[in-house]
Chain A
Amino acid sequence: MADTSGIKKIATRESYGNALAQYGAEYPNLVVLDADLAAATKTGIFKKAFPDRHIDCGIAECNMVGIAAGLATTGKIPFVSSFAMFAAGRAFEQVRNSVGYPHLNVKIGATHAGITVGEDGASHQCNEDLALMRTIPGMVVMNPADDIEAKAAVKAALDYDGPVYIRFGRAAVPVINDNADYKFEMGKGVLLREGTDVTIVATGICVSASLEAAEMLEADGISAEVINIHTIKPLDEDLIVASAKKTGKVVTAEEHSVIGGLGSAVCDALCAKAPTPVCKIGMYDVFGESGPATALVEKYGLDAKGIYEKTKAFVK
């Protein structure tokens, strides 16, 4: 396995809070809503800098989404913050009808997504949010891979007029985009590594794991291309289709159900434009469980080893 011990690790929820605070002065209409989780979602960082623009709605996520919709009609740019389970899950219909249908300028910053929530267990491990949010017409869905990308996603959302869902994680993840020529463009995938035998399309925490997996595959003589999809909707279909045509085999990797998330979005694009065999890596229609995040990603095969093994078996 590649040695990542020297790489800086930051949880993207931390990046979210920092980005909100960073852009607070530049965007006076930015307001942040939370539902009694400011310490966990890290919007507390914004609250410290801009106490009057941080609105704690109490434990009432559906109402929070509605309040954000009302604020948006008056020109505010509200960021609604909670765990993915409650922002996308509990408040789904409010997001659909009060935000999506009127296409209001509401941003949903959903933290603690996926199984890396860890010890809290399956009730709080949302593996369905990408699927739910993708189905809402006009909704932009982003899932940044690291600190740099998470902050860039917040900035992109601020500059976009319309509803946006951004998924952040609880656990610290390696910073992989810390280079001078890094550029973030909403809706554009990033070709991180070129290869010829298989394309691994990854999102969120699975991006750095896929890069590691590609190195392990290389040692076995398998050349893997790695694409980072930080924007699941709108999907960079051109990049994925071109790569699929080149390699002829596609693996998708996500900390999410294989039903409805990145894997499904990639299959939707490929079946229309370049039918290609696809191996979906994700949660296979199961709930998670309590345990340390690292142990969970290992058990459910979402770490580098899991992606390496599944990809190797698929390519052979």
Chain B
Amino acid sequence: MNKLELAKMANEVRKGIVTAVHSAKAGHPGGSLSAADIFTYLYFEEMNIDPKNPKNPDRDRFVLSKGHTAPGLYSALAHRGYFPVEDLKTLRKLGSHLQGHPCMQHLPGIDMSSGSLGQGLSAAVGMALSAKLDGKDYRVYSLCGDGEIQEGQIWEAAMFAGHRKLDNLVVIVDNNGLQIDGKIDDVCSPYPIDKKFEAFNFHVINTDAHDFDALEKAFQEARETKGMPTAIIAHSVKGKGVSFMESQASWHGTAPNDEQYAVAMADLEKIGESLGGAN
């Protein structure tokens, strides 16, 4: 996909997020929207995956360590063809394969169940280690929240990945600066995030999470990095794309009501028009 197509797709992914969370009357729009461009880039450009063969042993893997932003992942998967986009409206409903947090047994395309913060990255490290043990060349990507990295297990996993020189592993930190209780640097600052990963023997790249040129450059650099894992610190805006959600911690885990949903969709329609209409 070219950059314009990616931008249009990311806007569709955002509509899916807002629609899913509105339909569920619950869920986490803020961090899903901040990561929408990352999900889009991974599933439409970066990763070697095939929705028709989701269990291919040689596929690239993705672990959503910040599992509460499942609406973002689900929307990307649906738009990529893993399941009908219409299913997004079943999010969190009884009997749905779209559980509140990702469940690998319920949904093809989910490489690891996650949601309890801090745990996903360890599983991603295990997958990357397995590739090394077997001499396979698949790559493993894991998305963490900037609040999530307050969990100690993240740094246990980072220490191991750095020690084992897992250069097939890319950790992306969605650095939107906000967590449930407020600004991450007010609650319990994880900064400097880049220097921490550097100290754990990662190659570190700071990038703009909403610029596909920058994302392409970052993931390319990660691919070219040998002998150490890469951490991409993706500077993002929480709630990106929906005017009243942007940079508001209160939209971390709140669903829009009908009126707010209409405004949100109008915002996204406007963005779509500015990009020249839907794909």
Question: Binding site of B, secondary structure by majority: helix, strand, loop or mixed?
Answer: helix
Q: How far is the CB of A69 from chain B (nearest CB, A)?
A: 5
A116: interface (CB < 8 Å): no
A-side contacts of B131, CB under 8 Å: 74
A193: interface (CB < 8 Å): no
B-side contacts of A65, CB under 8 Å: 122
Residue of B nearest to A76 (CB): B130
B-side contacts of A69, CB under 8 Å: 112, 122-123, 126
- The number of residue pairs between A and B whose CB atoms lie closer than 8 Å in the complex comes to 104
Residue of A nearest to B140 (CB): A70
Q: How far is the CB of A80 from chain B (nearest CB, A)?
A: 11
Question: Binding site of A, secondary structure by majority: helix, strand, loop or mixed?
Answer: helix
Given contacts A69-B112, A70-B112, contact A102 B127 (CB under 8 A): no
Return the contact of A68 from the options B103, B126, B133 (Cβ within 8 A): B126
A228: interface (CB < 8 Å): no
B-side contacts of A102, CB under 8 Å: 103-105, 112-113
Would you call B125 and A74 a contact (CB within 8 A)? no
Q: How far is the CB of A26 from chain B (nearest CB, A)?
A: 18
B150: interface (CB < 8 Å): no
Task: Tell me which residues from 80 to 136 in chain B have a Cβ below 8 Å from any Cβ of chain A.
Answer: 103-105, 111-113, 115-116, 118-131, 133-134
A-side contacts of B105, CB under 8 Å: 102-103
A-side contacts of B125, CB under 8 Å: 63, 66-67, 70
Would you call B127 and A31 a contact (CB within 8 A)? no
Please report the total number of A residues contacting B with Cβ < 8 Å.
30
A-side contacts of B124, CB under 8 Å: 70
B212: interface (CB < 8 Å): no
A-side contacts of B115, CB under 8 Å: 97
Q: Please list the residues of chain B having a beta carbon within 8 angstroms of any beta carbon in chain A.
A: 57, 61, 63, 103-105, 111-113, 115-116, 118-131, 133-134, 152-153, 156-157, 159-160, 163
* 16 pairs, A vs B, C-beta closer than 8 Å: A58-B156, A60-B160, A62-B119, A63-B125, A63-B157, A66-B125, A66-B153, A69-B126, A70-B123, A70-B127, A70-B129, A73-B61, A73-B111, A75-B130, A78-B126, A101-B113
